[in-house]
Amino acid sequence: MNFEIQKRVLSTVIRDNSDALIVLWPAEDALLLAGNDPLASLMAAAIRLGDFERKPGGLISLYAHPGVKARHLVIVCCEEGTPAQLRRALNAAWGALKSAKIKHLGVHAALDMNAQQLQAAVSTLGEASYSYTHTLSKPKPRLLDKLTLSTGVVTAPLREAMVQAQALLAGVEVAKEWANRPANHATPTLLADAAKAIAKGTGFKCEVLGPKEVTKLGMGSFLAVARGSAEPLRFIVMRYNGAAASQAPVVLVGKGITFDTGGISIKPAGEMDEMKYDMSGAASVLGVFAALAQLKPRFNVVGLIPATENMPDGLAVKPGDVVTSMSGQTIEILNTDAEGRLVLCDALTYAERFKPKAVIDIATLTGACVIALGAVRSGLFSSNDELAVALQAAGEASGDTCWRMPLDDEYAEGLKTRFADVANVAGRQAGAVTAAKFLQRFATRFAWAHLDIAGTAWKSGAAKGATGRPVGLLLHYLLAQSEPTTGKAKGLRSRA
């Protein structure tokens, strides 16, 4: 998609030649109503007659208005214009335009915008225009290939925010696309190919390990999960080097279960198809790397993806089997459906070699997290307060929010077993926390955080589909980390 930002006033924007024009109309509109353009008189009448409510979702939709060059015109109330209000307003406006063939969309914000507001506007429209096509025999051509955003004041930070918003959108789209693809079109091998394709020509490295190399590394826990699958496992290592090799990287570890049947502890049939989304953590890592490839910021990031299916089979790991992880710790696998932690623990041990500044794992880890936090916030667990605060702040700034959960040692009691150093499940209580406590045992050598995205990575029901979360949170976190605390920054920054 082609994006541009322009400094414009409404009276000239209405003469632009786009297919549709959306006007973001603030609740404080005295100045707008005093204008001498055709919209001012139209809106004054609409407000007087009660046809336009200055309330969330209030909108007027017109076709072929003589005073406006665009075929479609939607005027939508955005109240004070907070990021959340802009998202709501633009979703409503896009909904009003839905069936129209819109290639070039103009959006005029009749208010001064800051970077966060701009990012909210761009990501909302960009995301609304995504549709999944990969496995359709007759895909509809994609709507919206050009977006012209105009506002009264365009500053340098706003232009920079536009660049970031575009990269974020590209990253979110990569994450959605790979998460949405069915498991037979997104095998571990295909995920690895996708990682290589993102790396190609962008100056970051991608290395893919197979069963032989993973065996040599001693990843007995990861291997145990992969035993039941006919698809060979892949361990994907991506390295984005934007700074000197001496600078410690942030390591992102994405759970890459391309399909989770539960294994021998098999899941019930209802909605099992949704377990194609069990690689959403991996998809978010691919998405972040796609965004980094565009932005080329000056820091280092490593992406690790342990990818495999979790299948029942004659060779599959059985409840009660004890395996030895790469860390040397033995694990009693009491439930083969708690497989995410089994692939992640070996990836966490592998992360040690990068002497990381921080390690963040991202996983659709527990149904219990969906019960705890629903689809609104991702679960955040961290042994490091500074890291937790930074991630929570990145969530708020990006609108891709998370909520910190506890890690008291008492929660680990249930993981004790007579037959190994640790069991892979505890009782039914606090399932999201006990899963995190399991992971924490493998993350003692660096600052670590875990994001449980089981509730936020996709939507169920009629609007079933990947959300692309938490690419926004992660990218905001990374860019904020690189932000110098003093002096004039030339690099890419996220500003409030």
- Return the H-helix or E-strand segment holding 265: none
- The two structure tokens encoding residue 71: 């075929």
Q: Residue 414 CB, nearest distance to Mn ion (Å)?
A: 18
Q: Which is nearer to ligand BES, 14 or 365 (CB)?
A: 365
Q: Which of residues 142-201 bind Zn ion (CB under 5 A)?
A: none
Query: Which range, of 18-26, 32-40, 101-109, 278-286, touches Zn ion by CB under 5 A?
Result: 278-286
Interface pattern 226-265 for Mn ion (x via CB under 5 A): ----------------------------------x-----
Which residues, including other chains, have CB under 8 Å from residue 129's CB and lie 6 or more apart? 1, 94, 142, 143, 144
Q: Which is nearer to Mn ion, 309 or 339 (CB)?
A: 339
Is 227 among the catalytic positions? no
- Does position 19 interact with Mn ion (CB under 5 A)? The reply is no
Say whether 76 sits in a helix, a strand or coil: strand
- The two structure tokens encoding residue 126: 């960009």
Q: Residue 39 CB, nearest distance to Zn ion (Å)?
A: 52
Q: Which is nearer to Mn ion, 341 or 476 (CB)?
A: 341
Helix axes of 115-128 and 156-180: crossing angle, nearest 10 degrees: 30
Work out what residue 431 binds among Mn ion, Zn ion, ligand BES, none; the CB cut-off runs from 5 to 8 Å by kind: ligand BES
Question: What single string gives the DSSP state of each residue in 216-243?
Answer: HHT-HHHHHHHTT-SSPPEEEEEEEE-S
The answer to whether the Cα torsion of 327, 329, 333, 338 is positive or negative is negative
Work out what residue 323 binds among ligand BES, Mn ion, Zn ion, none; the CB cut-off runs from 5 to 8 Å by kind: none
Q: Which is nearer to Mn ion, 439 or 447 (CB)?
A: 439
Work out what residue 425 binds among Zn ion, Mn ion, ligand BES, none; the CB cut-off runs from 5 to 8 Å by kind: ligand BES
Q: Residue 433 CB, nearest distance to ligand BES (Å)?
A: 11
- Does position 452 interact with Mn ion (CB under 5 A)? The reply is no
Active-site annotation holder among 87, 255, 341, 437: 341
Q: Residue 343 CB, nearest distance to ligand BES (Å)?
A: 10
Q: Which is nearer to ligand BES, 95 or 465 (CB)?
A: 465
Q: Are 283 and 179 in contact (CB under 8 A)?
A: yes
Q: Residue 370 CB, nearest distance to Zn ion (Å)?
A: 12
Binding site for ligand BES (CB under 6 A): 260, 278, 335, 337-340, 364-368, 370, 425, 431, 454
Say whether 447 sits in a helix, a strand or coil: coil
Q: How far lies 70's CA from each of 40, 92, 124, 148, 246, in Å?
A: 17, 19, 21, 13, 53
Work out what residue 24 binds among Mn ion, ligand BES, Zn ion, none; the CB cut-off runs from 5 to 8 Å by kind: none
Q: Residue 456 CB, nearest distance to Zn ion (Å)?
A: 15
Mark 33-56 as b/e (b = at least 16 C-beta within 10 Å).
Answer: eebebebbebbbebbeeeebeeee
Q: Residue 448 CB, nearest distance to Mn ion (Å)?
A: 22
Helix axes of 156-180 and 188-199: crossing angle, nearest 10 degrees: 160
Return the closest-CA partner of residue 394 out of 447, 485, 330, 469. Answer: 469
- Residues 283 and 415: their CA atoms lie apart, in Å, by 29
Active-site annotation holder among 69, 146, 196, 267: 267
Work out what residue 367 binds among Mn ion, Zn ion, ligand BES, none; the CB cut-off runs from 5 to 8 Å by kind: ligand BES
- Does position 127 interact with Zn ion (CB under 5 A)? The reply is no
- The two structure tokens encoding residue 385: 């307060």
Is 159 among the catalytic positions? no
Return the closest-CA partner of residue 383 out of 455, 347, 433, 331. Answer: 433
Q: Judged by CB under 5 A, which of 19, 79, 309, 337 binds Mn ion? A: 337
Question: What single string gives the DSSP state of each residue in 300-354?
Answer: EEEEEEEEEEE---TTS--TTEEEE-TTS-EEEES-TT--HHHHHHHHHHHHGGG
- Does position 309 interact with Mn ion (CB under 5 A)? The reply is no
Q: Which is nearer to Mn ion, 225 or 466 (CB)?
A: 225
Q: E strands along 137-197, which residues?
A: 146-151
Q: Which is nearer to Mn ion, 22 or 264 (CB)?
A: 264
- Reported as half-sphere exposure (CB side, CA atoms, 13 A), residue 314 has a value of 0
Return the closest-CA partner of residue 436 out of 445, 426, 446, 389. Answer: 426
Which residue, judged by CB position, is nearest to ligand BES in the bound state? 367
- Residues 282 and 34: their CA atoms lie apart, in Å, by 52
Q: Judged by CB under 5 A, which of 231, 278, 309, 346 binds Zn ion? A: 278
Q: Which of residues 323-352 bind Zn ion (CB under 5 A)?
A: 340
Q: Residue 271 CB, nearest distance to ligand BES (Å)?
A: 8
- The two structure tokens encoding residue 452: 């449980």
- Residues 395 and 218: their CA atoms lie apart, in Å, by 35
Q: Which is nearer to Mn ion, 37 or 339 (CB)?
A: 339
Q: Residue 375 CB, nearest distance to Mn ion (Å)?
A: 19
Q: Which is nearer to Zn ion, 340 or 395 (CB)?
A: 340
Query: Which range, of 61-69, 106-114, 244-252, 272-280, touches Zn ion by CB under 5 A?
Result: 272-280
Q: Which residues bind Mn ion (CB under 5 A)?
A: 260, 337, 339
Which are the catalytic amino acids?
Answer: 267, 341
Positions that interact with Zn ion (CB under 5 A): 257, 260, 278, 340
